[in-house]
């Protein structure tokens, strides 16, 4: 294919063309990323013609893997301290594997705390008060301690069992769900 592509480009350009494939370094990394993006776009195009889209298919496969009924709605929480002063909880929603930007929220932490767990607890309790429907899973940025803290807050507020709560420790790529063994995720997005 390389020679055919080179001939075609020469014809289109009306001049010499040399195709080189980088093997190492920044250009090799960039080429690998381009290959990955092209593969993903081809898969999306194929999936749109077949049943469902890639995001929905991924959500369905993930639900099966996690042994939950569905992952049609996923709500994710993360905490941030902006310039060391302003503390904010960020909430995003995915529906059928796609971002649902109209349900993105930020919660300015009112308590005078600089501890991630209490900030997350406050943000999630405020989020809970405004919900008309529950997600399939609430995903926290954190580890076992975050999971335990939020599960305790849900129990204290008679909200336990309404949805699955999971915590993702990003550094270790480990997913924690109460009552289950931790799941170590593959960094390439595959389990």
pLDDT value at position 191?
47
Digit-coded pLDDT (tens) for 35-93: 888 888 887 777 666 545 778 888 888 888 888 888 999 999 998 877 667 788 899 99
150 touches 177 (CB < 8 A): no
Distance CA 186, CA 137 (A): 20
Confidence of residue 21 (pLDDT cuts 50, 70, 90): confident
Distance CA 35, CA 93 (A): 29
Once rounded to an integer, what is the mean pLDDT over residues 90-111? 90
Distance of CA 140 to the CA centre of its chain: 11
Once rounded to an integer, what is the mean pLDDT over residues 95-105? 90
């Amino acid at each position: 294919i390389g020679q055919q592509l080179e001939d075609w480009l020469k014809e289109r350009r009306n001049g010499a063309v040399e195709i080189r494939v980088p093997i190492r370094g920044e250009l090799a990394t960039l080429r690998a990323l381009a290959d990955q993006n092209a593969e993903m776009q081809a898969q999306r195009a194929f999936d749109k013609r077949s049943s469902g889209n890639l995001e929905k298919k991924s959500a369905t496969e993930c639900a099966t893997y996690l042994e939950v009924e569905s992952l049609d709605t996923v709500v994710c929480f993360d905490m941030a301290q902006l310039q060391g002063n302003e503390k904010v909880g960020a909430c995003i929603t995915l529906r059928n594997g796609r971002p649902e930007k109209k349900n993105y929220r930020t919660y300015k932490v009112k308590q005078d705390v600089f501890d991630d767990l209490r900030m997350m607890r406050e943000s999630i309790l405020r989020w809970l008060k405004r919900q008309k429907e529950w997600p399939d899973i609430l995903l926290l940025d954190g580890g076992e301690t975050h999971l335990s803290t939020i599960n305790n807050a849900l129990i204290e507020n008679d909200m336990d069992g309404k949805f699955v709560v999971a915590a993702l420790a990003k550094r270790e790529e480990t997913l924690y769900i109460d009552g289950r063994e931790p799941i170590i995720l593959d960094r390439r997005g595959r389990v």
